[in-house]
């Protein structure tokens, strides 16, 4: 048995000893280095661009402007609104304007300064409220109404009637600050054109297939002439799931010069590329009946999307659609608006679209339960939605281990004897969540498999797996080795993975929405089962001999393919398929905090996290995903925030100024794996990469309330905000 065992990552050694090849490690003969000129203005018309002075610099080989690539692009077909280089309008400080390719980076940087750009500066829209108030100032011409990227208004059941008859209501406004991904590896891309005119792009992307499609479309090349290869990736977390300017620029410059071209973003440029967590303002109402059951939820969400759409259409839906479990809602309504603003574009960050509303809802649920005198864990038990049921908005839940998750964190934290009893400045808080295991439908509609895997057996006993899946650190290549070993009876160390190369591997849609384990796992198992049957018929003393006998019987090399077919899921209404998933994961956290009430300084002492992943195909990797998710959630609660000045300039686009927790700031983490054995997943598995993040922030917020009686509703939970709330609490106590 290989599945379910602790097996080391197959790429772990090469990453540890430095022999692994990342995008920036690629160096080709005659390679040029390119740099991108960026806008100093948040909103401006481009009246003139003249790149010719840059060509006079010794060592400069070529320049590039937007008129040479005017076609607009975007990962979602209906929202193409970006250009690799702006032609007539820049929309945020850092927007891409021109590019220079030279013999080295320094020469390219110096030449950028000579490019002449004439701007007509326009008023900047820097908040979603301003975007609503000033529809006459267009951030992005794609918006049909004012500056709205997408508005979603959905209601399930008579919400107003349920609110009118509720036993208690919690109604408050919450604000979630924007944050970014901070992967160790910056974005990097290298392009080469061969003698036959075939374009190859190596990129630190997590969506090779979608990138291939957009490169083909923007450059006017047949897809068969465009090859995208993903080397080892140094982290992504959603931040590399869009096509980016550098990929188009290196490709166009390679076509233009006939030489390989590389662009490596600086850390500052990674901040401008962004695609991080959307800031959201949420007006949330949670109503409970006399038994403490959720009779109504009403949520009005205003979303700051930045200058371009990215995945924003999906974000507007996810903000409401993914809230309806693990609890049963009597009625539900949400109204979400994603707005264009003159800031770097937001996109998908780990737990895309639903981390922010989960924070607001779980804090509001605690507040409503407190009014009825119901324990926070008990109110969550009473509202458990169950297994093999349908949510209020038409999502089909299969296996559901949420109650077991609650039980584990309750017991491990000593909740029953410690909650509300730790004394001043110390407290416990709980929260739960649900998240998707892949999206039911691909980003562009088609009837082809979302994931394809090809497995080939060699007479030497070596197994080769060709998979388009993107390993972004979550360990999908390791999973493929384990599945092969499980079904074929080989040694997992005798499996070679050929991955994420659009010329060599079947299509996989990428690493996003926690789709990989479920969809790639099913595809790989299907292919391996086909070959296992041939080996069984052939027989043999060992695996190698079985391969040889089977090949002799077959009269041809042994190979088989598997795929994941898209399922028809979701509610029968416009947008009902967005958020629909073949399975949902469930999580519960308890957080313990300590607060110095004199200064407002606080820390998370420990977080207990239990996650229902269906089946842990590799417990070590699942635990790593749980702990990484909890760390990121705690980081956003403590300190992460994208801050802009009145000109739209990002404050401190560096890892000196944008703070993330060090090991000294990270709480003790204890993770628990819950296995509900989902009937649709590979060996019963579902996702573990994003769901465990969601409860961390509200669990911490609820723990702060237990510690010192305050309800904090704005992220990050800075000490000065804690101190302000403490002073307000004391003033109320004195007045009483």
Query: With 90 as the cut, is the pLDDT of residue 624 above it?
Result: yes
341 & 423 share domain: yes
What is residue 187's DSSP assignment? P
| H or E element that contains 36 | strand 32-38
Cα–Cα distance measured from residue 243 to residue 70, given in angstroms and rounded to the nearest whole number? 15
Query: Which CATH number covers residue 201?
Result: 3.90.1170.50
Report if residue 479 sits inside a domain.
yes
Query: With 80 as the cut, is the pLDDT of residue 634 above it?
Result: yes
Q: Which of 564, 593, 621 is the last residue of a domain?
A: 564
255 & 337 share domain: no
625 & 525 share domain: no
Q: Which of 540, 564, 588 is the last residue of a domain?
A: 564
What is residue 517's DSSP assignment? H
Q: Which residues make Cβ contacts (< 8 Å) with residue 724, sequence separation at least 6? A: 600
pLDDT value for 6 = 95
Cα–Cα distance measured from residue 364 to residue 726, given in angstroms and rounded to the nearest whole number? 19
Q: Give the whole-number percent of the chain exceeding pLDDT 90.
A: 97
Query: With 90 as the cut, is the pLDDT of residue 214 above it?
Result: yes
110 & 226 share domain: yes
Q: Which residues make Cβ contacts (< 8 Å) with residue 449, sequence separation at least 6? A: 506, 507, 523, 563, 564, 565, 566
Report if residue 525 sits inside a domain.
yes
The domain tally of the chain equals 3
722 & 577 share domain: yes
525 & 478 share domain: yes
What value does the mean pLDDT take over residues 494-523? 96
Looking at the DSSP bridge assignments, the partners of residue 94 are none
Report if residue 618 sits inside a domain.
yes
pLDDT value for 442 = 86
Residue 237 in contact with residue 273, Cβ under 8 Å?
A: no
589 & 716 share domain: yes
Report if residue 373 sits inside a domain.
yes
Report if residue 154 sits inside a domain.
no
CA 728 to chain centre: 37
Q: What token pair was written down for 232?
A: 């080892």
Query: With 80 as the cut, is the pLDDT of residue 583 above it?
Result: yes
pLDDT value for 71 = 97
Greatest Cα pair distance in the chain = 90
Range of the domain at 48: 23-122+184-235+240-273
pLDDT in tens, 250-299: 999 999 999 999 999 999 999 999 999 999 999 999 999 999 999 999 99
Using CA atoms, how far residue 543 sits from 349, 462, 496, 535, 547, in Å, is 43, 9, 16, 8, 6
Task: With CA atoms as reference, report the closest residue to 93 among 707, 656, 651, 691.
Answer: 651
pLDDT value for 375 = 98
Q: Which of 532, 564, 596 is the last residue of a domain?
A: 564
Query: Which CATH number covers residue 452?
Result: 3.30.365.10
* DSSP codes of every residue in 194-212: -TT--EEEEE--S-HHHHH
Using CA atoms, how far residue 493 sits from 294, 462, 485, in Å, is 51, 9, 9
532 & 604 share domain: no
204 & 351 share domain: no
Handedness of CA 100, 101, 105, 111 (dihedral sign): negative
What order of strands is seen across the sheet that includes strand 451-457?
495-499, 463-467, 451-457, 558-564
Handedness of CA 660, 721, 273, 338 (dihedral sign): positive
584 & 700 share domain: yes
pLDDT value for 475 = 94
Looking at the DSSP bridge assignments, the partners of residue 22 are 232
536 & 435 share domain: no
Q: Give the whole-number percent of the chain exceeding pLDDT 70.
A: 100
pLDDT in tens, 437-480: 998 888 888 889 999 999 999 999 999 999 999 999 999 999 99
35 & 79 share domain: yes
Q: Is this prediction's pTM over 0.85?
A: yes
Alpha helix (H) ranges present in 265-382?
267-273, 312-321, 355-372, 376-382
What value does the mean pLDDT take over residues 578-602? 97
| Between 47 and 440, the higher pLDDT residue | 47
Cα–Cα distance measured from residue 459 to residue 182, given in angstroms and rounded to the nearest whole number? 45
Report if residue 205 sits inside a domain.
yes
Report if residue 9 sits inside a domain.
no
Q: Which residues make Cβ contacts (< 8 Å) with residue 303, sequence separation at least 6? A: 128, 278, 279, 280, 312, 315, 316, 319, 336, 337, 338, 339
Report if residue 311 sits inside a domain.
yes
Which phi and psi (to 5°) does residue 349 adopt?
A: -115, 145
pLDDT value for 723 = 97
Query: With 80 as the cut, is the pLDDT of residue 736 above it?
Result: no
Using CA atoms, how far residue 141 sits from 39, 79, 522, in Å, is 18, 11, 42
């Amino acid at each position: 048995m290989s599945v379910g065992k602790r097996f080391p990552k197959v790429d772990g050694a090469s990453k540890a000893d430095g022999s692994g090849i990342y995008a920036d490690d690629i160096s080709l003969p005659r390679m040029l280095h390119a740099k991108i000129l960026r806008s100093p203005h948040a909103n401006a018309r481009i009246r003139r661009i003249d790149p010719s002075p840059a060509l006079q610099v010794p060592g400069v080989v070529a320049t590039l402007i937007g008129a040479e690539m005017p076609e607009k692009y975007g990962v979602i077909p209906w929202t193409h609104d970006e250009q690799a280089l702006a032609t007539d309008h820049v929309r945020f400080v850092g927007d891409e304007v021109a590019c220079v390719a030279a013999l080295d980076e320094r020469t390219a940087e110096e030449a950028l300064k000579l490019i002449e750009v004439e701007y007509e500066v326009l008023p900047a829209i820097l908040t979603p409220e301003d975007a609503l108030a000033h529809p006459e100032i267009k951030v992005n011409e794609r918006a049909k109404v004012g500056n709205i990227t997408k508005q979603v208004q959905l209601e399930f059941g008579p919400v107003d009637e349920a609110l009118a008859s509720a036993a208690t209501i919690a109604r408050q406004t919450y604000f979630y600050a924007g944050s970014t991904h901070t992967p160790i590896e910056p974005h990097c891309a290298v392009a080469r054109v061969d003698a036959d005119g075939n374009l190859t792009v190596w990129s630190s992307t997590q969506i090779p297939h979608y990138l291939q499609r957009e490169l083909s479309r923007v450059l006017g090349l047949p897809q068969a002439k465009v090859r995208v290869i993903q080397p080892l990736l140094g982290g992504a977390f959603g931040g590399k799931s869009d096509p980016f300017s550098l990929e188009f620029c290196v490709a166009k410059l390679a076509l233009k010069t006939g030489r390989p071209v590389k662009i490596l973003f600086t850390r500052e440029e990674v901040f401008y590329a962004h695609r991080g967590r959307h800031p959201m303002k949420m007006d949330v109402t949670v109503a409970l009946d006399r038994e403490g059951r959720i009779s109504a939820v009403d949520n009005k969400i205003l979303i700051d999307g930045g200058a371009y759409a990215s995945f924003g259409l999906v974000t507007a839906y996810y903000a409401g659609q993914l809230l309806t479990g693990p609890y049963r809602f009597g009625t539900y309504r949400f109204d979400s608006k994603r707005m264009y603003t003159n800031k770097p574009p937001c996109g998908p960050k780990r737990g895309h679209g639903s981390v922010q509303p989960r924070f607001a809802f779980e804090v509001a649920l605690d507040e409503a339960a407190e009014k009825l005198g119901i324990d926070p864990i008990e109110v969550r038990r009473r509202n458990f939605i169950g297994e093999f049921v349908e949510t209020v908005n038409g999502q089909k839940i299969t296996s559901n281990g949420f109650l077991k998750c609650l039980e584990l964190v309750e017991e491990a934290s000593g909740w029953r004897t410690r909650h509300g009893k730790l004394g001043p400045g110390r407290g416990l808080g709980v929260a739960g969540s649900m998240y998707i295991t892949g999206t039911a439908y691909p980003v562009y509609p088609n009837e082809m498999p979302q994931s394809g895997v090809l497995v080939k057996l060699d007479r030497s006993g070596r197994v080769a797996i060709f998979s388009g899946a993107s390993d972004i650190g979550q360990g999908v290549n390791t999973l493929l080795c384990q599945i092969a070993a499980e079904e074929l009876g080989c040694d997992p160390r005798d499996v070679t993975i050929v991955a994420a190369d659009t010329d060599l591997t079947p299509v996989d849609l990428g690493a996003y929405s926690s789709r990989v384990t479920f969809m790639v796992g099913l595809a790989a198992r299907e292919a391996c089962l086909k070959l296992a049957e041939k080996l069984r018929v052939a027989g043999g003393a060992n695996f190698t001999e079985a391969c040889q006998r089977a090949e002799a019987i077959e009269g041809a090399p042994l190979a088989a393919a598997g795929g994941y077919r898209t399922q028809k899921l979701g509610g029968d209404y416009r947008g009902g398929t967005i958020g629909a998933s073949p399975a949902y994961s469930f999580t519960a956290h308890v957080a313990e905090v300590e607060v110095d009430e004199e200064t407002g300084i606080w820390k998370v002492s420990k977080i207990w996290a239990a996650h229902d992943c269906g089946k842990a195909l590799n417990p070590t990797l699942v635990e790593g995903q749980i702990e990484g998710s909890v760390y990121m959630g705690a980081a956003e609660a403590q300190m992460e925030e994208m801050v802009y000045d009145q000109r739209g300039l990002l404050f401190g686009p560096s890892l000196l100024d944008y703070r993330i927790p060090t090991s000294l700031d990270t709480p003790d983490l204890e993770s628990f794996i819950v296995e509900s054995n989902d009937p649709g997943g590979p060996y019963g598995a579902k996702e573990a990469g994003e769901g465990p993040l969601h409860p961390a922030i509200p669990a911490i917020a609820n723990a702060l309330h237990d510690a010192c009686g305050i309800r904090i509703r704005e992220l990050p939970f800075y000490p000065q905000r804690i101190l302000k709330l403490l002073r307000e609490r004391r003033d109320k106590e004195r007045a009483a």
